[in-house]
A and B are shown apart, each in its own frame.
Chain A
Amino acid sequence: MAAVTLKNVVKRFGVFEIVHGANIDVEDGEFVVFVGPSGCGKSTLLRMIAGLEDISGGEIAIGGKVVNNVEPADRGIAMVFQSYALYPHMSVEQNLSFGLRMNGNPKADTERRVKRASEILRIAELMKRRPRQLSGGQRQRVAIGRAIVREPQVFLFDEPLSNLDAELRVQMRVEISRLHKELGVTMIYVTHDQTEAMTLADRIVVLNAGNIEQIGAPLDLYDDPANRFVAGFVGSPKMNFLAAQVVGNDGNATLLELANHGGARLQKPLSGAPPAVGAEVVLGVRPEHFFEAGEGDCDIAVKADVAEHLGSVSYVYANAGAAPGANAGPEELIIEREASRQRATGDHMVVSIKAGQSLLFDKSGARIR
């Protein structure tokens, strides 16, 4: 077991800087998920930890030892790849034991480790098969088994579930969680799927275009995002962003006028310095934080376009329509409703926003607290 520390880690491909100085502390035994949109540099970061990519700047330490110039095999890590990367010409058993055999590990020990992995993952009956004779879920288990066999201090996962169908994905998610509890080792897990991040992680690292936007526990990110990017990325369906303008300040609250809702106003208490009067800001409201008319601090009228009925809840896609003279375009809002109170499309409805359950951002996306 080991902690993983990234200090000012930079990655350049030629002249393109892909990772701009990442600082991450993964504690011993922790499950940390790197999440971010595709192409933001998650895999690159993970591959640098694994030693599969050179580190252009900064320092990576595993278990307190700087590993910048240590070969992948000597870093005490194991990695599970998105494509599973099973050797197609070897049986499951040979896949599991290949690395150990190639390094002259004693035969009895190799057998013991393979047996243990196959028991943990319940793949004992598949040992003689070739990868192409396995289902997606089974291949995934073998790929994880190959990591377990190494008895590593740190597990690295690169989008391991993205090739599975929705149902299997949920099942394997639970299984990876179980594995983490059982083995108790450090795990670093990369995904673009925020649901996976929320359900698996002790802590989440949100990445965007090579920058770390925020690091924190899943619900902290959800409740208290550092900026508009994190707020929009974490949570499904996404947070709604309503254009607004500051029309007044009194001591510890600011008065906002929503740009697209016919002059609707909201008094929003702040703990820090309020923005200047006249500033354009953005109000973030999660779909589940719309209330019945009159129940909140500010009512707005919208027109429902489409409703998705999921059974337990319904999501109404509503159009605010740009008000005359408004300084922003029309906004599409997603509103969560209880299933019993679903609206037919085309209906006009009035919903209410609470100051305490909304977030304020400035034009650049930074949080105003």
Chain B
Amino acid sequence: MSSRSASSRSSSSRSSSRLGRSIALHLFLTPLALIWLFPLWMMVIFSTMPDRGIFSPSIELLPHGSFLDNVNNLQRDTNFIGAIGISVSVAVTYTFLSVLLTSMAGWALARYQFFGKGVVVAIILGTITLPYAVVLIPQFIMVARDFKLANTWVALIVPPLFNSLGVLFMRQSFSMMPGDLFDAARVEGVKEWRIFLFVALPLARPMLAALAIILFLASWNNYLWPLLINSKPGAMTAPVALGTLIGLTKVSWGGIMAGAVMLTVPMLVVFVLLQRHFVAGIAAGAIK
């Protein structure tokens, strides 16, 4: 009897200390989360306000109704819809090609023994920590001056196809699969590229999804390279087109914010829907 009440007392004190820690946790994390959401919230609010609303002394924290006006203002300042079209097409093409290239390379590194493998792996690891700045200038000279490809889709898509983290991610994915599976196909006389296409890739579908999302996002948001190589108005990607407006004097800031929303909100939706893949793709770079 006495031992039972003693044990129930200790368990209630344990649960009350848990409650205390839980409250402290939420008291700390909630304001931090609100601060973190604040810029995104303000982006949405600004995009629904007319310019004179944005530049007024009052504090506005709730949405207004001028989003479509702002889109029109933006379209008047620059051909944003056209730029979005370019961005979407480029990102889709880039994602497809890059997933293919990186998974082929990852497959080779994971599943074959070959002369020079160590060198290839060293190259890939080495370029992860190499600043992009080192290749930027010669890349620009080559693509713009030697290949005369400035302001084309090829210029936007092809040079960024080299992607080290993606290859490492796919190598990891393929080497975690049981090798017997591929040997079984080999014994059955299935050609190597068919093993890759019909056995390895279908099994890697979740990893491919994660990779595709990350690559799409990288292309969608890429700024510096498109800014340099596709600077002609009709050839700009959406971030570049939007960037040209920032800092101009006679420009609609409501429009800029509407553009920012159009660039951001679709990605947020994808993020919410495919959070697991997103997180897997980002985390994969570091976690072996």
Contact = CB atoms under 8 A, between A and B. Distances in A.
A283 interface: no
Contacts, number: 68
Given A88-B203, A102-B194, A102-B198, A72 B180 contact: no
A52 B186 contact: yes
Contacts of B183: 47, 50, 52, 72, 79, 81, 85
B178 A72 contact: no
Interface residues of B, number: 17
Contacts of A100: 188
B199 A87 contact: yes
Sort chain A's interface into a size bin.
20 to 34
B187 A73 contact: yes
B187 A98 contact: no
B20 interface: no
A85 B186 CA distance: 12
Given A87-B199, A88-B203, A102-B198, A81 B180 contact: yes
User: Max chain B CB contacts within 10 Å: which of A51, A71, A98, A100?
Assistant: A98
Interface string B9-34: 00000000000000000000000000
B265 interface: no
A87 B181 contact: yes
A106 to B, nearest CB: 15
A341 interface: no
B189 to A, nearest CB: 3
A83 B187 contact: no
B184 interface: yes
Contact of B184 (A51, A74, A85): A85
B187 A78 contact: yes
A83 B180 contact: yes
Nearest to A73: B189
A98 B180 contact: no
B190 interface: yes
A37 interface: no
A123 B117 CA distance: 43
B180 A102 contact: no
B270 interface: no
Interface string A66-84: 0000011110011101111
A86 B177 CA distance: 12
A82 B180 contact: yes
A236 interface: no
A367 interface: no
A89 B186 CA distance: 17
Contacts of B148: none
Interface in A92-147: 98-100, 102-103, 146
Contact of A99 (B178, B180, B190, B202): B190
A150 interface: yes
Contacts of B232: none
A83 B178 contact: yes
Given A85-B178, A89-B203, A72 B186 contact: yes
B185 A99 contact: yes
B191 interface: yes
5 contacts: A72-B183, A73-B187, A73-B190, A85-B181, A98-B190
Q: 3 shortest A-B CB distances, which residue pairs? A: A99-B188, A73-B189, A85-B180
